[in-house]
Amino acid sequence: MRSITHFIGGETSPGGHRKGQIFAPTIGEVQAEVQLGDTSVLARAVDSAKAAQPAWAAMNPQRRARVMFNYKALLEKHMDELAELLASEHGKVVADARGDIQRGLDVVEFACGVPHLMKGEYTEGAGPGIDVYSLRQPLGVCAGITPFNFPAMIPLWMLAPAIACGNAFILKPSERDPSVPVRLAELLIEAGLPAGVLNVVHGDKEVVDAILDHPDIKAVSFVGSSDIAQYVYGRGAAAGKRMQCMGGAKNHGIVMPDADMDQAVADILGAAYGSAGERCMALPVVVPVGDATAEALRDKLVTEIEKLRVGVSTDPEAHYGPVVSAQHKARIEDYIRMAAEEGSEIVIDGRGFALQGYEDGYFLAPTLIDHVKPDMKSYQDEIFGPVLQILRAATFDEALSYPTRHQYGNGVALFTRNGDFAREFAQKVEVGMVGINVPIPVPVSYYSFGGWKRSGFGDLNQYGMDGIRFYTRTKTVTQRWPSGGAVLDQSFVIPTMR
């Protein structure tokens, strides 16, 4: 059986006394095992990173950028290999796996501009003979803890800006699908990264806590559920680390009466059911405004949902594949049952679906639920599966209130032809990422990704300029060069530049 080990010091590195199972979601069988590290494995990774980081940081930024350019080319060259490997462990269809890699590759491309991104500021003559300038400097050793649902994109969101800025990086990927993160590390070494600058350590809570407690790790980026994000943020911040923790979501799509209904339905289907709904930027709640809009939307959704194809990851005709594990499938089914018990109408029930020839796979057909109420737990919680809920609103203001009042604030979308509605919505909604006729408003790589409320803990978002700020610290230098050897008068008052 294939065994996946840690990657430390530029090579595979066994360690840890426990192992985890990696399942093939399409058939429900174990396909590989992963070594789960412990504090001693993490300590080796930190030692390797500490040894390699000073020389990497001292390298001029254009040479670090060249490594990123090489890395970009290698990711493009190995796209098919990475996508197939990713799909085999996660279950998403290969086309979606390519998108996973491409969105991470976009951030690598952004990181190629690090010589410009790390430039400081300079003021000549800020005071009599005094100049002031600022420097951006790397933090040292940083770490990233990433989830199962994007095993390429989210690691690349973290490691690309961190390493380009001159840091060393320790990646703790999900133990459910760890093969792609290791392959990403191997390709970065091939691109010219010195051994030790990037290390991959597999593990569960033991390794996570070791990362949060280790005094030589200066910053930690995390993506996962909100409860864990809050725990990670609190423990890491208490240890004096810079923290960036992204949590869960319950994204809403508001459909106005004037929306292009055919386009809205097409957008909603992809956003709700793509990747089996296992996205923090999925759109699991649709909010039609007015009864006529709700009925028209429901009818079109039913018609189009019946056309969706659930299949294995290698099926080019499949819209989405299985969910990641048997436990997660059972959790989603529990939420569907809960929604019915709370009084919602199960319009289309995806439970009980079996794909011919793959009956043991973790498949769920698309589920559509209507007449959802805001006090229902099935609405308040993140389901993270191929389940779309309809929450009806009578007015625009009522529809606006639902995402604004929800505990999560990751993404939201408004479907309308009315610019006044769109402008007011974008200004007032209390959500971090807003789409206007865009169902999955993940920002491009030169902006930043981050949610509000329980969707994000910490002051700086991922990638873009926030990513550069997160992985660097600013040093400001005030300098004076007295001329003629004259000694200035003593002063016992706070200095000013007047």
Query: Which residues are catalytic, by number?
Result: 280
The C-alpha torsion from 479 through 482 and 488 to 493, rounded to 10°, is -10
Give me the phi and psi of 16, to 5 degrees please.
100, 150
Radius of gyration of the chain (CA): 25
Do the beta carbons of residue 328 and residue 351 sit within 8 Å? no
Q: Which two tokens stand for residue 402?
A: 């639902």
| CA–CA separation, 464 and 160 (whole Å) | 11
Do the beta carbons of residue 170 and residue 479 sit within 8 Å? no
Q: Which two tokens stand for residue 28?
A: 């429900």
Angle at 88 between CA 439 and CA 195, to 5 degrees: 95
